[in-house]
Structure 1
């Protein structure tokens, strides 16, 4: 480890642009995409802002740790899918769930009543061809100026990356699963 001297002056100038809703993308093969989005949701909720979370691959009855906590805090989370695609009994049905869920999410984004809308794992229905990329891009472009949207998932389409204001790629360096350690309840649920 290299020891550094802490900066004594601010390393950047204050931004002079207008405040507006942002498009934020968390992508990549590393862990933390959804977790980062949920952190933003908590931050916004803590400021009294209206937040809505859509999870495109989770079932509506999912009760993971984040669901339990968001329920206690009054942050609405809606599962739109039927789980992992390899567990699906009918991929056409999975695609229809994604389209139906997108219609609800799109209406909320365009409705402008929420400060932040999280589209968790939306990249999967996009790259599987279940959702029309053009419609998602149009919705992001036409959303009310104050609405922030966070999109998560691996392999985010380049068109969304180009449109986004902030893009973070989570890079996998090492994962416990690779060493044969199973998912840990409270860490990966």
Structure 2
């Protein structure tokens, strides 16, 4: 569940997304709860002093875009989900956030497919009309999205590649470690000490 807020930063409904196995087949579903008036979803609402807003589509993609960002970017960028087409509160919420933090830099991280291309063009046009002189950048390729991917698919692919590299590195380290063999102890043989009249053990040379 992804809560949406309006221009007054007030809750205005939930976006949901999930999956269910029906007759052995996995089916995904998404939508909005009853009475929801679409606003925007914030992945990092506690970002104290943002200097940039980054747009993605749904809640899952917005969270994925946040995870794809560097720690430094997470400290200064508000990650916003606008869903597909904007709702009654979407534009008002975006304008309110930008004005509240005096933001003039925006980045677009929608899906890297035909639908995402369309959303990117539309959002770019809206931002140009809403914020004169704003810096607007399409960052889909820069953050790692390949053609046809959404941010969540890109995140899963990158995480899988990282995990595979870790396994390969650990195997390489294991092969490079020398094999420790037990050190053979020198044999001992008994000798008779005539002066002491006792047995002692003298190491053989």
For normalisation by structure 1, the TM-score amounts to 0.33
More strand by share: 2
Larger relative contact order, structure 1 or 2 (CA cutoff 8 Å, min sep 6) = 1
